[in-house]
Amino acid sequence: MNKSNKLVALALSVSLLYAQELLTNESILKLAKAGIQEDVIANMVSNQPGKYSLSPDAVIALSQAGVSQKVISAMVTKNGEMNASVSKPSVGGAAESMVLHDATPVRLRLTRNLSSADEKTGDTIDFEVLDEVKIGDLVVVQRGAMAIGTVTDAEKKRRMARGGKLDVTIDFVRLTDGEKVALRGVKENKGGGHTGAMTGAMVATAIVVWPAAPFFLFMHGKDTTMPKGTEITAYTDGEIRLDSRKFAPK
């Protein structure tokens, strides 16, 4: 048997001794102190699972204890392979993120009549999504999905020719994965105040609509009304990271 075959046989026999053991710095030190050839130890390191401490102090200790540079190099290589296999996501297992950008427009339609004569503060308002919202080829908001708003202030018409008041906010829309995404009523979020507010007020016979309002409220007598079917555009509030796997076609 030539030298090469002898080394392979020796490596195999030593490997069998350690087959049930995760190789560590201590294992390598034992092999080196037992006089096992560096080629055999390096072969074991390359072919068996191991977990090695390779801080500068640990490497110095291995070298001072007689572990060859070839074996230490094999340990460094093996550690790199182990770390890569741990950090590499399994196919289909890790989240693949995508971003729904701030101020993405969402066109909505009011599903019922609103009037300051009938609404109460805290009432919920339903809007229907008119157009799909996509990121690339993936639909993140379906046409026909529901968006929810809230009446934040409602006052009936009053005496002395004072008209009614109806303040509304858009709160959120449902994504195709069932999660909620916050909406606001203005495209630019400059901070301060309630960015989701879409506010209108009736004073005497004049309509006063705040600059933040993306739609107009209408006067009916002296009550503020918004008819069913009124179309508005709301905007997503903030950069929102999504898992693309949840939006892939089934």
Q: Among residues 16, 5, 86, which one has the least CA distance to residue 44?
A: 16
Q: Residues 50, 157: one domain? A: no
Residue 222 included in any domain: yes
Residue, of 59 and 5, whose pLDDT is higher: 59
Residues 97-127 have pLDDT tens digits of 899 999 999 999 999 998 888 989 899 999 9
For tokens 């693949």, the residue is: 96
Sign of CA dihedral 109, 112, 118, 124: negative
Q: Residues 113, 160: one domain? A: yes
**pLDDT of amino acid 105:** 95
Residues 16-75 have pLDDT tens digits of 444 446 788 888 888 888 888 888 888 888 888 888 888 888 888 888 888 898 888 888
Contact 185, 170 (CB under 8 A): yes
Q: Residues 76, 171: one domain? A: no
Q: Among residues 124, 129, 161, which one has the least CA distance to residue 142?
A: 129
Band the pLDDT of 138: cuts 50, 70, 90: very high
Residue 120 included in any domain: yes
Q: Residues 81, 161: one domain? A: no
| Exposed / middle / buried, residue 142 (Cβ in 10 Å: 0-12, 13-18, 19+) | middle
Which of residues 39, 58, 87 is at a domain's end?
Answer: 87
Band the pLDDT of 206: cuts 50, 70, 90: very low
Residue 216 included in any domain: yes
Q: Residues 199, 142: one domain? A: yes
Residue 92 included in any domain: no
Kind plus residue range of the DSSP H or E element containing 137: none
Residue 194 included in any domain: yes
Q: Residues 133, 238: one domain? A: yes
Residue 14 included in any domain: yes
Band the pLDDT of 132: cuts 50, 70, 90: very high
Q: What is the pTM of this model?
A: 0.52
Q: Among residues 134, 138, 137, which one has the least CA distance to residue 105?
A: 134
Band the pLDDT of 160: cuts 50, 70, 90: low
Long-range CB contact pairs, 243-246, < 8 A, 24+: 243/95, 243/96, 243/97, 243/177, 244/96, 244/97, 244/98, 244/135, 244/138, 245/92, 245/95, 245/96, 246/176, 246/177
Of 66-75, 84-93, 183-192, where does the model show the most confidence? 66-75
Q: Residues 77, 115: one domain? A: no
Q: What is the CATH number of the domain that holds 126?
A: 2.40.128.260
Range of the domain at 9: 3-87
Which of residues 60, 87, 114 is at a domain's end?
Answer: 87
Q: Residues 121, 220: one domain? A: yes
Residue 150 included in any domain: yes
Q: Residues 174, 70: one domain? A: no
Beta strands in the chain (DSSP E): 97-100, 105-110, 114-115, 124-129, 133-135, 138-141, 146-155, 165-174, 180-184, 197-203, 206-209, 218-220, 223-226, 231-236, 240-243
Q: Residues 43, 8: one domain? A: yes
The count of structural domains within the chain is 2
**pLDDT of amino acid 82:** 60
Contact 151, 121 (CB under 8 A): yes
**pLDDT of amino acid 140:** 96
Q: What tokens were used for 121?
A: 């503060």
Provide the residue type at 57 as one letter: D
Residues 241, 244, 249, 250, Cα dihedral to 10°: -110
Q: Residues 142, 203: one domain? A: yes
Which of residues 42, 58, 87 is at a domain's end?
Answer: 87
Q: Residues 51, 131: one domain? A: no
**pLDDT of amino acid 159:** 63
Residue 225 included in any domain: yes
